[in-house]
Amino acid sequence: MSNHNPLRVVFMGTPDFSVPTLEALIQAGHTIVGVYCQPDKQKGRGKQVQMPPVKVAALEHNLPVYQPVTLRDEQVQAELEALKPDVVVVIAYGKILPPWLIRLPQYGCINVHASILPNYRGAAPIHYAILNGDTKTGVTIMHMDDGLDTGDIIDIVETDILPGETTGQLFERIAVLGGETIVPVLTRWVNGEIVATPQDDTMATHTAKITKEMGHIDWSKPANEISNLIRGLNPAPGCYTYLDGKRLKIWSGEVVPSDTTHCLIDIRGKHVPIAISATTVPGTIVSKIDGLGVFCGDGNIILLTEVQPENKKRISATDFINGHQIKEGIVFGDSN
């Protein structure tokens, strides 16, 4: 580091999302004195115990790993104090840091957060950026305080949300962006070249926890909103509707330009007839060309291109149509 020796860093993170930032700190030559992540968990049908991705990465580099159930414990506090970190870097750790820890390191606890703060504080900033149809997001490097994502802003790096991009795809890009951002920002922060800026709390928005129930598609909503829901909940927990009482997961769909006056939609340059009338209700399948064309509440059409029948694998909507005698005029409905 310019003008500075390598820092003693405690790293706190758990999922895949955190790994590029840990790798960047290692590559930069910092001394990672401890890596903290959530405890191992049972996963899948076989209930096999799996290590968090951050633990896997840390062990590959022979770094000491700590997995306390809680940070609010005298033994954990003594252990962290003994590590004498210059700075604590936190990204998607999954636990609230207690006040004593926030005040422990000389250069503070630095958080890599996946939004342009004060927008989207909380646990699901990437999901909500897509659910709300945003065209821009980014990474905020923040000097943590006792609140939830309320700390002063050290730096922000923005990125465009690409058309059709899913939460999973954006997660991967933002994770890489976090890794690219942390080292140069940390250098400038430690060298006193950055003055952190307080957030405007009056502009703050908060993200609620993502639930499976959020994935139930309400076809009376506008097509664009449904498209954002499908993108926002891909890969998890996924969107779904019902057909003949069975759940059908929807993995991809796009809004297609429609001329409902002349009963046509434009699918990749092709004028395709659609079966609509004054009595067509939202959720009705109105086209079967290149996917399932579904009539939405605003009169627009969403073209579903990848679906997953209950207890089956994902398939293209075209294969689903061919295998299930899907007819125009069928209406997606509720489970009853």
Q: What angle do CA 25, 29, 32 make, to 5 degrees?
A: 60
Cα separations in angstroms, 177 against 14, 60, 138:
17, 22, 8
Distance CA 79, CA 59 (A): 19
Tokens of 42: 């049972």
Distance CA 90, CA 98 (A): 13
Distance CA 282, CA 261 (A): 16
Residue type, 176: V
Spatial contact of 111 and 142, defined as CB atoms under 8 Å apart? yes
Beta-bridged to residue 271, according to DSSP, are 266
Contact residues for 183 (Cβ-Cβ < 8 A; gap 6+): 24, 25, 27, 28
116 labelled ligand-binding: yes
117 labelled ligand-binding: yes
Cα separations in angstroms, 109 against 96, 190, 323, 334:
12, 12, 55, 47
Q: Quick one: DSSP state of residue 203?
A: G
Pairing status of strand 8-13 against strand 87-91:
parallel
118 labelled ligand-binding: yes
Spatial contact of 267 and 305, defined as CB atoms under 8 Å apart? no
- Residue 57 parent element (H or E): helix 53-60
The terminus-to-terminus CA distance of the chain in angstroms comes to 63
Distance CA 22, CA 182 (A): 9
Binding-site residues for (6S)-5,6,7,8-tetrahydrofolate, in ranges, read 115-118
Binding-site residues, in ranges, read 115-118
